[in-house]
Structure 1
Amino acid sequence: MSPRHLLLFLLLTLSCSSFAQTLLSVRGSILDPTGAAIPGATVQLETTSGTLAAQSASDDRGNFILSNLSPGTYSLSVPAYSGFAAHATPLHLTTSIANVKITLFTQSVNQEVNVGDSDQSLSTDSSANRDTVAVSGDDLRKLPVFDQDIVATLTPFLDSSAGSSGGTTIIVDGVEMKSVGVSASAIQEVRINNDPYSAEFTRPGRGRIEITTKPGSPTFHGEANFIFRDSVFNAKNYFSPVRPPETRRIYEGHLGGPLGHGGHTSFIASASYRQQNTASVVNAIGPSGPISENVLTPNRNSQYSMRLTHDFSPAHRLSIGYNFESSASTNAGVGGITLPEAGYNLNSREDDAIFNDRLILTPNLINQLLVTFEKDEDVTKSVTDAPSLQISGSFIGGGAQADIARTENTIHVNEILTWSHGKHYLRVGVQLPQFSRRAVDDHTNRLGTAKFASLANYAADKPYVFTAQQGIGRGLYWINELGSFIQDQVKLTPHLQASLGLRYDWQTFLHDNNNLSPRISLAYAPGKGKTIFRTGTGIFYDRTGGDFPANVVLHDGVVLHSIQIQNPTYPIPPGFDFGTIPTNLVRFAPHSRTPYAIQYSFGVERQIHKTVTVTAAYRGQVGVKSFRSRDANAPILPPDPNLSDNYPRPDLNYGQIQQVESGGRNLLNALDLSFRGQAGRWFSGQAQYTLSRFDNNTGGINAFPQNQYNPNNEWGRADLDRRQRFNLVGNINPDHWLSLGVIATLYSGTPYTETTGNDDFHTGLGNARPAGVGRNTLQAGGVASLDLLYNHDFRLTKEKGDNAKFLSAGISAFNVLNRTNYTSYIGSLSSSLFEHPTAALAGRQLQFSLGYRF
């Protein structure tokens, strides 16, 4: 079947009817207050007359299913079990319900139930806001997930204004990690914007992804998946001269079960292997004209994890785990105006040892200790050993000059005490997000980089700057962070709930010690609880961003001798002594402080139907003391540049001094509208629309202003500002034999900056704008994509529930409409590609999958 015919088939299925189902089911999970599964708990469903309609027990992952049910009103209950109090809640059943989440507390503590998309019972709990994106592991199986990359799939639901300087914040089982650490099928749930003003986390709700992995299992369960793609089924990239021979193969799965006798010890192991033979498209302008070619960029990734869980008693559970991940990429960085010769190869490895100890001290007091030991090794090697050439807006060639090796040994610690009493639910914690010893061997730019304003200047051998560095390049340093918090969730009245929190953060390299972050949120549910009003505000402190402190350690004038020569004679003469040129420096300003943001919001949730909730909220943010860089030793230009062609630096003993300052600011105003639930039998899922404006005067910790002596003259749209964003995730015609998983995104474009291409300020930065032109005044094109999945489960056994075995087959279509989504626009006036894109996202691609689970 050709891709065109397959696309037609997928679209036609939207109008097909399916067989009616008269019997319904209820699926869900039972968890303790820490989010861990409670296996073996009895779940009962009784009619209003007290007749038992169905009964089940939670499996090793805390999951349960009640099937063969008729529509009606029931009571869903869990009897007291293993030190946890009993629970009961009414349930009106009109359609099958998935994602019922019951949290059991210890004796004398109130219980809560959070019913998923099929039942929109509202709660004033701060973590139950309906603006939360919550996707269970079962739901993920029904969605078109590209390469099984869960984080990339859900990242569009994050807000760039709420992110950290270090990138997306990933919380795995309560601990901040660099990656998920387990294979996709071993994920139990993913949540975004869960409890947005929680004092437990450094980032607000829209700035973090919280992932819960599956626990161990007292009975054997597992899953194996094979995912593959081939370019023969794909549309050609817009800029690609021909369709490259791409292939992808992913082998993934997990297995869980008991160890030994007695049912007190269980395990879960997961593994994945990705073999991806991909290609990038080069679209550049060289001295001889346009350059258009495909460049193979193969990569391999292996990931393994193992976790053992032992219950010493009903009150004491210990888990020990190990994660391993390695990856290798060839020709990384190639594409757009970057030529194949300027690529580099990447090799990385990460090992994690994880300890998780949960102890119920008293009926209303729980202690949880999570400790992770992490070791990382990353090596980057240039493909070509040659000087780097950068021609503004035309091409990047020569060697990448990117040779560097990094090692990192880190400890993450979370110690959290949970106490419940009466109307109060108190959490107190001490955290070490990072206690990290790092080493770096920097051999970048040893042969130098020449930058040219235009192709004409390149032909005339007239670069505006030449940079290079020499020295041992070996640096050892520590990056340590400390956090602590206290938070009380209190039921003030039957209709009003408050969450009050205070957090403290500290980090090395910055010398302020007063980073207190008060946070508060309120939820009010008048009447029968069909409407909830929410408001909240809080302060969130940022970090130095990625591994920027390494630059301060290396570029201190001793470890590395880094130079900058403006308007040099080119080529640089052989044997030139770089030691005669003053060295560059990188440093924090004496009065630099930790950036922080004040975020505030108010909104309303409305249950418009038993299965549908809509929300509307205003969200604002004021960023203070944002990081930016400034050349503190920039030449002072004369009033009339024609009076002089010599622009010396004020301190002749140094070259560029990159000084990181806390002088930036930002401002966000946003309107969020969302839908969550099941619209009849035709759609189940969630959708979000955001109308916003995000402005700032800095592009981040490595961003320089054009005029180093007027850094505040950079106010404009933020680099990642999108005025409008729409995201949808869910299922069409759910719970029927003909059901489609769907993910849709529709974004307006981001801005980019118009530059002259010349070094008009003689700083070597080449970021000067035309007179009167502000930052980020040009507009890139928008992005639109529709992804679909058709997947069908074939039952292999007659057993139902946990004993059932399935063989599944699926086909996903990404960017079904084959829309060209342009990226990487050129803003340099000296380039013939000015205001043109040089790259595009992938066209339509098909992904096939086979799976077996039991």
Structure 2
Amino acid sequence: MHLFRILVILAVMSTAVTSLGQQPCTRGVRVDGLVTDPSGAMVPGATIQASTGAVATSDQTGHYLLPCLSRSFTLQARADGFAPQTLTQTANSQQLHLDIQLSIASVESQVQVSADDNTVALDPGRGPGTVTLDERAVQQLADDPDDLLRQLQMLASQNGGDPSTARITVDGFQNATTLPPKGSIASIRVNPDLFSAEYRWPPYGGGLIEIKTKPGAAAIHGAAFFTGSNGSWNATTAFAPSSTPASKRRYGFELSGPILPGRGDFSAALEKRDIDEFKVVNAQVLASDFKISPFRQTVPTPQRLWVASLRSGWQLGQSDTLTGSFAANVNSLGNQGVSALVLPEAGYSTMATQYELRLANELTHGAGQLHQTRVGLSSRRSQNTPNATTPSLQVAGYFTSGGATSQATDSRRYTLELDHDAMFTKGRNTLKLGTQSLGIVIHNHTPDTFNGAFLFGGGSAPALDPQNATTGQTVTIDGMDQYRRTLLGLPGGNPTTYQQTSGNPEVNFTQWQNALYLEENFQVTQRLTLSGGFRYQFQTSPDSLANFEPRLGIGWSPDKKSTWVIHARAGIFSNFIDADTIADGFRLNGRRQQQVVVYSPGYSAPLNPNSASIAVSTRREFAPALSQTTTFTGYFTVEHTFAHHWLARSAFYWGADWNAIRMRNTNAPIVSTAIGAPADPIAALRAPRPYGGNENILRYESSGHLAGNLVSFSVEQQSYKRFNLRVYYRHANFKANGGDGIVTPQSSYSEQGESARADWLRLNGVSLIGSLILPRRVELATELDAHSGAAYTITTGTDANGDGIVNDRPSYASPGMSGSVYHTRYGLMTADTTNGNVPRNVGTMPPTVHLDMNLSRAFTLNPKDKEHARTITFNLRAANVLNHVNINGVGTVVSSPSLDKPYQAESARRLEAGARFSF
């Protein structure tokens, strides 16, 4: 019914504006023509961009149409493998037929890695952080899928947000996906104008990576490639006790060409990746003599990945094209979850598969109407196999062993996407409207903690003398001392908690995410553009209907030559409630699955009651008025073009979120805040609860908020023949009481210390991307990003307030205070507290620096035959050239000797060499 209503509304809207789109261009000129190569063959997929900002793409017959331009205009045509062509015309009639012939690109032609050309500075399709990479620029990026994804994520996060949350879309489909084969990518646009009503993600939501795949060629073309990396070339990962001989191999082929000349084409790509990397376990355990001993081990994490794609385009009529595509991704990974404090037995292997079938139709009606319809089906499945099935055992701040809590999961996700976009152009006015509908079917088999999980978090315990006899005093012990006492059977030797889940591991449900949008851009004058849009979105499971999102914008150039350009935009955004969050709530609702947490259990039989233990049941529920996260944000930018086309830009963002999803125990024990007394979870559990009983009720609520701003500066140079550069700096300042994923406050009854730096926030960041053509036609491409360290929260490792959530924070201590006081670079802290006063995210990780470089040289094997060129390209790539130790894990438990000390890092320097033969 939702889909039917959407289509009816679209039909009514389309009918209302059809007469507008079919009216002639009375003030300007209608331009059309053919794009051909030197032999006269048609060139499909070429981009023709006008100085007014209008953009067209040549269809499968090479035909392009710009329905309404000013009488004097400049066109720039670009296509993969051809040199850019620029034409300037003045028309004396209302119609002009203008054919464009492209020449074969020379080896020294410029690599495009840029924001759009200054001549289209008022183009509403670009924002202040938009970066466009053509096919040659994509080839200069990393071959390794993880490195390539990281590079694109860092570009996407320049407007703020966590890089890992950047969305990837392919060929206009809104359903996020994985990266397609690199060889099938024609271009990538990072962060288009996200204020357009077409998009639902705010600019600082991690960013958007739009990928366009290659159409079939007019003649048979193909390529075969191989990239390899030997372990002896690569540096050893930090903290490893022995060498980490990482190796990588990537090989495959691409093929494209016509099926029926002028009617149909195809393109195919297949590649295999064999990646042998290592993780380092850097923990502390108890030795056989019950003394703390370092445990370091290098653990292989092999990855075997198949990626395939097939695409076919058909010209159904002069202005009607149909494109179908199929993509497959099969990924096998070993020893996942192992590293840092997680021992090998606590890891698991993963088999992940993804299949996508997509159909897209593009239909042009008359001079000013364009309709695009997309239908997509996808299937994703992830299966985890644990290395062990024994109960999980975590000693806070020291190590995690036993079986992985996830155990043997089988998560399946099926989606149906139905989109329709319609664009109408009349004179200087462009109207775009559309519908977006995504149906998600979830089938999850998740036996999380069915194997049980012990936690040793420390807390209050009897003081012992050297002979292990009690002294009558009470002290605070850490998790390792608690674990040692448990193994030796000493007083105070009980685990903090034991958690176990039982019941039905299956969760099945369907969610629909739907949206209607309208976006209008009006070019008031050659130097003034106004834009406005409106988006409405709604969803099921849970139902959320009242999500209205207006958007406004202006672009203005105060001088006649448009060397200065000012942009300002603002709007409201809403974020669908994620289906995975809903699945967790359904799974642990107390009926499908039952979860029990036993405090101070016996170690040998944790579910058997004893005089010291208390069992608490746990269930989850949704608040009656759960809402989508709502965001208001805006930006103001100033651009200036200097001599020789140097472009400088400054931007200021501001924004706020509210109604973000958090989880709170609404039946937590009502305990008082205390400092100086050893934490005693058992005493907390005896406190009264609002609804009585020994039950934790974890409720999903719309109570999260975020607010802040971001300032950025960038400089670009894209006009030089042998050199291009883009440098970017940002300073961000956002505070939130939520975070990445579902965050729970330390106390269910207090917000003290919850509003702090956003989890993803990196205060300062610098990035650089550029290329240089060296002597003998050697190309050097480089990408640098350097960022301040991310925030982390310091915890006590235990559950002092008895709310069933182990996120308790320490308190600041006074000089001379007795008990468990710890000296940290953030001040004196004590674990003798309940509901501590140290804020969230007070800690800061070390900064990160990534410098990647690629050297390549192309050789033409038949230089006299320019129409059927055969080339072989050799390249040498280095990731993390500086071999900088990029820390991604530090100790966070205040009582642990590893507090604030790095124990985990990203991969060290990696070298790889490759060859690519193209014909």
TM over 0.5: yes
Change (3 A) 1:332 1:657: same
SS of 1:298's equivalent in the other structure is: strand
Q: Distance in 1 between matches of 2:721 and 2:83?
A: 20
Structure 1 segment 430-509 matched on structure 2, within 5 A: 430-432=435-437, 434-453=438-457, 454-461=479-486, 462-509=494-541
How far 1:451 sits from its partner (Å)? 0.9
Q: Which residue of structure 2 aligns with residue 265 of structure 1? A: 264
Residue 871 of structure 2 aligns to which amino acid in structure 1? F
Q: Distance in 2 between matches of 1:251 and 1:211?
A: 21
Residue 557 of structure 1 aligns to which amino acid in structure 2? G
Q: Which residue of structure 1 aligns with residue 416 of structure 2? A: 411
SS of 1:586's equivalent in the other structure is: strand
Q: Does 1:285 align with 2:319?
A: no
Q: Distance in 1 between matches of 2:793 and 2:160?
A: 23
Q: Distance in 1 between matches of 2:111 and 2:315?
A: 26
| Matched-pair contact (CA < 8 Å) for 2:222–2:918 | yes
Change (3 A) 1:662 1:204: same
How far 1:736 sits from its partner (Å)? 6.2
> Which residue among 149, 153, 156 is the counterpart of 1:158?
156
Structure 1 runs not aligned, ≥5 long? 1-26, 44-54, 101-114
SS of 1:460's equivalent in the other structure is: helix
Change (3 A) 1:574 1:773: closer
How far 1:733 sits from its partner (Å)? 3.5
> Which residue among 766, 787, 790 is the counterpart of 1:750?
790
| Matched-pair contact (CA < 8 Å) for 1:672–1:689 | yes
Change (3 A) 1:148 1:316: farther
Residues 519-566 of structure 1: CA deviation (Å, up to 9, x unaligned): 111100122111100000011111223611111111111111111122
How far 1:348 sits from its partner (Å)? 1.6
How far 1:575 sits from its partner (Å)? 7.7
How far 1:235 sits from its partner (Å)? 1.0
TM-score (structure 1 length as normaliser): 0.86
Residue 503 of structure 1 aligns to which amino acid in structure 2? R
Q: Which residue of structure 2 aligns with residue 636 of structure 1? A: 670
Residues 445-487 of structure 1: CA deviation (Å, up to 9, x unaligned): 1121111111111112322221110112112101210011000
| Matched-pair contact (CA < 8 Å) for 2:889–2:902 | yes
| Matched-pair contact (CA < 8 Å) for 2:111–2:771 | no
Q: Which residue of structure 1 aligns with residue 851 of structure 2? A: 786
Q: Distance in 2 between matches of 1:566 and 1:767?
A: 16
SS of 1:459's equivalent in the other structure is: helix
Q: Distance in 2 between matches of 1:96 and 1:250?
A: 27
SS of 1:131's equivalent in the other structure is: strand
Q: Distance in 2 between matches of 1:798 and 1:160?
A: 42
Residue 459 of structure 1 aligns to which amino acid in structure 2? R
| Matched-pair contact (CA < 8 Å) for 1:77–1:88 | no
> Which residue among 785, 804, 812 is the counterpart of 1:764?
804
Residues 622-680 of structure 1: CA deviation (Å, up to 9, x unaligned): 11112211111211115778995624544455632221111111112111111222485
Residues 168-215 of structure 1: CA deviation (Å, up to 9, x unaligned): 221211112343453101111111221131110111356211111111
Q: Which residue of structure 2 aligns with residue 17 of structure 1? A: none
Q: Which residue of structure 2 aligns with residue 616 of structure 1? A: 650
SS of 1:179's equivalent in the other structure is: coil
Q: Give the alignment's Cα RMSD to 1 decimal.
A: 3.2
Residue 385 of structure 1 aligns to which amino acid in structure 2? T
Q: Which residue of structure 2 aligns with residue 5 of structure 1? A: none
Q: Distance in 2 between matches of 1:161 and 1:637?
A: 42
Structure 1 segment 139-154 matched on structure 2, within 5 A: 139-147=137-145, 150-154=148-152
Moved more, 541-550 or 662-671: 541-550
Corresponding residue pairs, total: 785
Q: Which residue of structure 1 aligns with residue 11 of structure 2? A: none
| Matched-pair contact (CA < 8 Å) for 1:605–1:615 | yes
Q: Which residue of structure 2 aligns with residue 19 of structure 1? A: none
Change (3 A) 1:57 1:691: closer
> Which residue among 330, 345, 369 is the counterpart of 2:334?
330
Change (3 A) 1:360 1:65: same
Q: Which residue of structure 2 aligns with residue 515 of structure 1? A: 547
Structure 2 runs not aligned, ≥5 long? 1-43, 65-74, 288-292, 458-478, 487-493, 812-836
Structure 1 segment 29-44 matched on structure 2, within 5 A: 29-30=46-47, 37-38=58-59, 41=62
Residue 352 of structure 1 aligns to which amino acid in structure 2? E
Q: Distance in 1 between matches of 2:146 and 2:446?
A: 34
Residue 220 of structure 2 aligns to which amino acid in structure 1? F
Q: Which residue of structure 1 aligns with residue 832 of structure 2? A: none
Change (3 A) 1:346 1:34: farther
Change (3 A) 1:230 1:79: farther
Q: Which residue of structure 1 aligns with residue 428 of structure 2? A: 423
| Matched-pair contact (CA < 8 Å) for 1:41–1:57 | no
How far 1:690 sits from its partner (Å)? 0.4
| Matched-pair contact (CA < 8 Å) for 1:117–1:677 | no
TM-score (structure 2 length as normaliser): 0.80
Residues 733-791 of structure 1: CA deviation (Å, up to 9, x unaligned): 46961331101111111111122223221223222112231111111100112111111
Q: Distance in 1 between matches of 2:263 and 2:45?
A: 23
- State the structure with more CA Rg: 2
Moved more, 292-301 or 695-704: 695-704
Structure 1 segment 174-573 matched on structure 2, within 5 A: 174-180=172-178, 182-205=180-203, 207-260=207-260, 262-288=261-287, 289-402=293-406, 403-432=408-437, 434-453=438-457, 454-461=479-486, 462-527=494-559, 528-545=561-578, 547-573=580-606
Q: Distance in 1 between matches of 2:417 and 2:378?
A: 8
Q: Distance in 2 between matches of 1:134 and 1:711?
A: 43
Change (3 A) 1:679 1:336: farther
Q: Distance in 2 between matches of 1:654 and 1:36?
A: 65
> Which residue among 683, 692, 714 is the counterpart of 2:723?
683
Residues 297-325 of structure 1: CA deviation (Å, up to 9, x unaligned): 11111111111111011211011111111
Q: What's the % identity of the aligned pairs? A: 24
Structure 1 segment 646-795 matched on structure 2, within 5 A: 646-647=686-687, 649-652=689-692, 655-678=695-718, 683-711=723-751, 713-733=753-773, 737-771=777-811, 772-795=837-860
Q: Which residue of structure 2 aligns with residue 12 of structure 1? A: none
> Which residue among 65, 71, 74 is the counterpart of 2:82?
65
How far 1:158 sits from its partner (Å)? 2.4
Q: Distance in 1 between matches of 2:177 and 2:121?
A: 31
| Matched-pair contact (CA < 8 Å) for 1:297–1:332 | yes
| Matched-pair contact (CA < 8 Å) for 2:143–2:182 | no
Residues 347-366 of structure 1: CA deviation (Å, up to 9, x unaligned): 12111111101111222111
Q: Distance in 1 between matches of 2:77 and 2:782?
A: 32
Q: Which residue of structure 1 aligns with residue 661 of structure 2? A: 627
Q: Distance in 1 between matches of 2:115 and 2:757?
A: 36
Q: Distance in 1 between matches of 2:746 and 2:218?
A: 62
Moved more, 347-356 or 564-573: 564-573
SS of 1:132's equivalent in the other structure is: strand
Q: Distance in 2 between matches of 1:28 and 1:517?
A: 33
Q: Distance in 2 between matches of 1:540 and 1:708?
A: 28
Residue 75 of structure 1 aligns to which amino acid in structure 2? L
| Matched-pair contact (CA < 8 Å) for 2:168–2:179 | no
SS of 1:232's equivalent in the other structure is: helix
Change (3 A) 1:727 1:546: farther
SS of 1:838's equivalent in the other structure is: strand
SS of 1:154's equivalent in the other structure is: helix
| Matched-pair contact (CA < 8 Å) for 1:182–1:270 | no
Q: Distance in 2 between matches of 1:610 and 1:166?
A: 36
Structure 1 segment 47-66 matched on structure 2, within 5 A: 62-63=79-80, 65-66=82-83
How far 1:226 sits from its partner (Å)? 1.1
Q: Distance in 1 between matches of 2:671 and 2:159?
A: 35
Moved more, 290-299 or 543-552: 543-552
Residue 429 of structure 2 aligns to which amino acid in structure 1? H
Residue 729 of structure 2 aligns to which amino acid in structure 1? Y
Q: Distance in 2 between matches of 1:177 and 1:598?
A: 23
How far 1:42 sits from its partner (Å)? 8.6
| Matched-pair contact (CA < 8 Å) for 2:315–2:322 | yes
Q: Distance in 2 between matches of 1:362 and 1:185?
A: 35
Q: Which residue of structure 1 aligns with residue 31 of structure 2? A: none
Change (3 A) 1:511 1:734: farther
